[in-house]
Structure 1
Amino acid sequence: MQEESSSEPFEAPAPIPRTVPPSRLEIIRVLFRNPLELWGEPSYTLPVIQISFFGQKTTIANHPGLIKHVLVDNASNYGMQTIRQLVLRPILRDGLLTAEGDTWRRSRKAMAPVFTPRHARGFASQMLRKSEEFSARYEKAAASGATVNIATDMTELTYEILAETLFSGGITTGTEGFADKVDQLLHSMGRIDPMDLLQAPSWVPRFTRLRGRRSLALFRGIVAETMAARKAKMATGEAVPDDFLTLLLNLEGDDGLSRDEIEDNILTFIGAGHETTARALAWTFYCLAETPAFRAKMEEEIDSVIGTGAEPVEWLERMPHVRAAFEEALRLYPPAPSINRMPLKDDRWTDENGRVFELAAGTSVLIMPWTLHRHKLYWDRPRHFIPERFLPENRDRIHRFQYLPFGAGPRICIGATFALQEAVIALAVLMHRYRFDLAGDQKPWPVQRLTTQPVNGIDLKVSARKASPSVS
């Protein structure tokens, strides 16, 4: 348990833990509407819970030792949970988030060089340029004190950064309306259907997702056009960028990736790769609007570092307050609120008190950053926004396996370093020029689709701080 500052922090809006178990029918309704509203008080207070959920034995793992056992120590014995795959595979097929076995290993190995910390640092100047270009769009809003939907805007900004860094601007669609397209896809496809709970075969129609077919076809079309345009250039011998897209296309073949696997991975990054960072950025701006004292410290830090002329590649280390705010937002609103696994063979784990937990093959193991990050055993004032906990002098108090915004083990998010650097640069650029304040009394409400989203966006009022049009 951590001790934080004595001042009263801001309590971030979130569902109150249930004190009465829901009925079977209510479980179905809540899981379809918003799974974040399902969890009861035990999920936020007990280290391990073993229950029967729709006839399947389920272990909810909040204990850092059990989490380490599942995700790291015995990771080879744990595959993806069935319900998770029934939701995600229709969208991403054999993309990196859903592939398993040899398919996943080949894809992960192929992409790893692009996302090493050293390579990711090479994207800093592009991240800076796109953030500056995007920030110019707020000039009119700032001059009039207008309100913007920061959730939509961050989706578009992170998409533009992704398109520039990994695809060299080669994605065959613009950014206008892109956030709405993503929302339509995730709203219709990224939720649990009653047939998923019954674990019906994938060929059984999910009527709740029928409306999403058009959105999915749109994204598949974007991917196909993007691949075709780049391959046409490669076929003529024209010089092409040495980027993520070219890397994947060059891997097509019997010893590499199939065409379908390449398409699935490109879709994963275009449709979801930027979404996690976008959501966390939006939540960060909102929490800072509710916490002006810490925001002021960030502004001072940002102005100081930028004033020295420091290169953007240095900002992640030189702006600890900016990073801490983003990481605290990741704690409160983890973009991936659940990690779902299934033992392939019978397993067991023993806690520090000698209690043995049986984990039978084929049962469900839920590791939920949403509940883990708000767990009363591991966090002081867990429902409150306290970024100080992530400042360098306090980080050692946080157990590696009580904080999982990017997962852990072999399947840890491949773009973690990329996302942290991108977020700090975007926050610094926008907060150097503007201030984002609350636009009304209504609080944004988190809802789980594929990511933790604000159900109706986040409206913030923009005002100018700095007149300088550029920090580069």
Structure 2
Amino acid sequence: MDTAPAPFIPPAPKPRSTPPSTLQMIRIVYRNPLELWGEPSYNEPWISVSGIGGPLVIANDPGLIRHVLVDNAKNYKMATVRQKILRPILRDGLLTAEGEVWKRSRKAMAPVFTPRHIFGFAQPMLKRTLAFAERYEGETGTVDIAHDMTMLTYDILAETLFSGEIAGEPGSFARQIDHLFETMGRVDPLDLLRAPDWLPRITRIRGRKTMAYFRRIVADTMAMRSARLAREPEAVPEDFLTLLLRAEGPNGLTRDEIEDNIITFIGAGHETTARALGWTLYCLSEAPWERAPIEAEIDAVLAREPDPTKWLDAMPLTRAAFEEALRLYPPAPSINREPVETDRYKDLEIRKGSQVLVMPWTVHRHRKHWEQPDAFMPSRFHPGNREKIDRYQYLPFGAGPRVCIGASFAMQEAIIALAILLSRFRFETVAETRPWPVQKLTTQPQGGLPMQVTRR
């Protein structure tokens, strides 16, 4: 009698058994915040402590998470520490803007991400993925899948939201985005200590050249499109870039806000999907018993359904594997908030000025919410099981008013990419494949994902 194989346990830091000292904490947060959390973070509904930067609440209970992100969201602003990390990169982009600036930006972008527009992006997504897949034809060596997925999602972003008109060279872009997140995307110890902004942060000094590179790309991209708008307004594509430029004006976005939002989508918008795709291919390579039915599903759907807008609903097993990778390696591993006024949830007091951490990393691996939380088990997201998961225990795209505006875009993009890649190729780990999850804005595989690609 055959027995089912034991689930694959992908790499992750073990929960700490003892709290770190202040010096250890600063070192861990700088090196890799995912290694900071102890057993209580994976077992308790919430933790309220005095941290080095002041009062800290770690929220793991779905009810508390809903309270902070949805029910009483008006009382919570972006946490100061998070803003110190992200604002130097994104300034007033959608991820970091607040108040009226955020409302204007969200309103300006909403038309791009309606279901009608998302479906309209399916064919360009398919086109870019097919073109990308050509590079693996005849491939015999080892490739870094983490790098390649960054290139693929860049190609898709350029084609869909910018109609192929992003200035700069894609290979250089991929290298620079890695350097940007390696430097400016890290928590600086001075931020943890809430030191004044005039004190220089070494990480940001190292990232200035890269930041200037991105600002130059965006300035050139905007200049190209502005020239086309002036020259041939009727022939310009009504894409993300054009909609933002048309939103410029006294009641819309400023020129700087447009630039900030383009940087947000070029940088963070494609990076999150790239990381999730890489982790999915890695997990499937280590769990071939999960991969086999997914390959069969993809083959069957592609044989009968040419319309890529239908693939997301037609491939529940493929979607489940991607969602499980998002659970284990959430692209945005922490959501940080700060109460404007003192708040209360049940018997928990959340004092004004506290830092509230909603961490998908720990919530997604919480012992009270998930069976075998550290295992790669796509069946959790199969039809019939997916509906049993509490909305606020699974947060790959956040929740509430600031839920990721591009969630539907990312899901469609991921399924199209996985369908094409897995229908043609098999991705296998090699001796050098030893990824370690590290938090640098996104959950990245330290050392990349070297893998062997062969024709199926």
* Equivalent of residue 124 in structure 1, options 114, 119, 122: 122
Question: Who is 2:239 aligned against?
Answer: 243
Long gaps (5+) in structure 1: 351-355, 466-472
Counterpart secondary structure, 2:170: coil
* Equivalent of residue 23 in structure 1, options 15, 21, 42: 21
Cα distance in 1 for partners of 2:267, 2:119 equals 23
Counterpart secondary structure, 1:51: strand
User: What do residues 116-157 of structure 1 show as CA deviations (whole Å, max 9, x unaligned)?
Assistant: 22321111011001000000000121xx3x211000000000
1:74 equivalent to 2:77? Answer: no
How far off is 1:209 after superposition? 2.2
Cα distance in 2 for partners of 1:375, 1:118 equals 36
Q: State the one-letter code of the partner of 2:315.
A: M
* Equivalent of residue 351 in structure 2, options 357, 360, 363: 360
Counterpart secondary structure, 1:176: helix
Question: Who is 2:417 aligned against?
Answer: 426
* Equivalent of residue 377 in structure 1, options 358, 368, 377: 368
Counterpart secondary structure, 1:79: strand
* Equivalent of residue 39 in structure 1, options 37, 41, 44: 37
Question: Who is 1:445 aligned against?
Answer: 436
1:388 equivalent to 2:384? Answer: no
User: What do residues 43-66 of structure 1 show as CA deviations (whole Å, max 9, x unaligned)?
Assistant: 001011000111511110000000
Question: Who is 1:101 aligned against?
Answer: 99
How far off is 1:175 after superposition? 1.4
Long gaps (5+) in structure 2: none
Q: State the one-letter code of the partner of 2:72.
A: N
Contact 2:433/2:449 (CA < 8 Å) preserved in 1? Answer: no
Q: TM-score, normalised by structure 2?
A: 0.98
* Equivalent of residue 163 in structure 1, options 151, 155, 158: 158
Q: CA RMSD in A?
A: 1.1
Cα distance in 1 for partners of 2:385, 2:355 equals 34
1:173 equivalent to 2:168? Answer: yes
How far off is 1:6 after superposition? 6.1
Q: State the one-letter code of the partner of 1:283.
A: W
How far off is 1:443 after superposition? 2.1
Cα distance in 1 for partners of 2:352, 2:305 equals 56
* Equivalent of residue 343 in structure 1, options 324, 335, 339: 339
Question: Who is 2:90 aligned against?
Answer: 92
User: Structure 1 runs of 4+ off > 6 angstroms?
Assistant: none
Using the TM superposition, name which of 229-238 and 54-63 deviates more. Answer: 229-238
Question: Who is 2:406 aligned against?
Answer: 415
Cα distance in 1 for partners of 2:351, 2:56 equals 10
Counterpart secondary structure, 1:60: strand
Indicate the percent of aligned positions where both proteins have the same amino acid. Answer: 62
Q: Write out aligned runs for 1:168-317 (5 A).
A: 168-238=163-233, 239-317=235-313
Cα distance in 1 for partners of 2:120, 2:401 equals 24
Question: Who is 1:330 aligned against?
Answer: 326
Q: State the one-letter code of the partner of 1:433.
A: R
Q: State the one-letter code of the partner of 1:26.
A: Q
Change (3 A) 1:55 1:249: closer
Cα distance in 1 for partners of 2:280, 2:366 equals 20
Q: State the one-letter code of the partner of 2:453.
A: V
Cα distance in 1 for partners of 2:241, 2:71 equals 33
Cα distance in 2 for partners of 1:179, 1:340 equals 27
Aligned length: 453
Q: TM-score, normalised by structure 1?
A: 0.95
Contact 2:433/2:451 (CA < 8 Å) preserved in 1? Answer: no
Contact 2:75/2:339 (CA < 8 Å) preserved in 1? Answer: yes
How far off is 1:379 after superposition? 0.3
Change (3 A) 1:6 1:59: farther
